[in-house]
Amino acid sequence: MSRWIAERGLKATRQRDLIVDTFFSASGHLSVDELLAKVQSRDENIGAATVYRTMKILSDAGLASARHFDDGQTRYEAAIGRHHHDHLICTSCHQIIEFENERIEELQDMVARHHGFQVTRHKLELYGLCKDCQGR
């Protein structure tokens, strides 16, 4: 993100580097809390506000995307060179599975066109029980 940072007069700091590095080293859909914990295990003096601020920058830069699942917390996932995709979310073990489906996207475009809508982003989430959680 250094180019993006330089272009708008932002500064590279130890904290930002650490947060960004931690974020991209981790996998999955991290809540700010989870990320903060990982970050603080490397430098306990980093504050939550800095993590919030840094993730907002990453998100504005298009390098991370914010997701709002139904648990009331914002989660971020890496967005570098990734296709758009949607999510299956297990309501029992909270596992998140990603999927892509070209046909669904096409049908969404069709629906939007039909309503004269210009879609900029969409969200498709399927909530339920994953294979492992169905037997209890």
Partner DNA sequence: ATACCTGCAAATGTTTTGCAATGAT
Partner DNA sequence: ATCATTGCAAAACATTTGCAGGTAT
Asked whether 87 and 99 are in contact (CB, 8 A), the reply is yes
By CB under 7 A, residue 48 contacts DNA: yes
- Which residues make Cβ contacts (< 8 Å) with residue 75, sequence separation at least 6? 29, 30, 31, 66, 67, 68, 69
Minimum distance between the CB of residue 12 and DNA, rounded to whole angstroms? 4
By CB under 7 A, residue 45 contacts DNA: yes
Asked whether 55 and 93 are in contact (CB, 8 A), the reply is no
By CB under 8 A, residue 91 contacts a second copy: yes
By CB under 7 A, residue 9 contacts DNA: yes
By CB under 7 A, residue 123 contacts DNA: no
Chain center to CA of 109: 23
By CB under 7 A, residue 22 contacts DNA: no
Question: Interface with DNA by CB under 7 A: which residues?
Answer: 5, 9-16, 31-33, 43, 45-50, 52-54, 56, 72-74
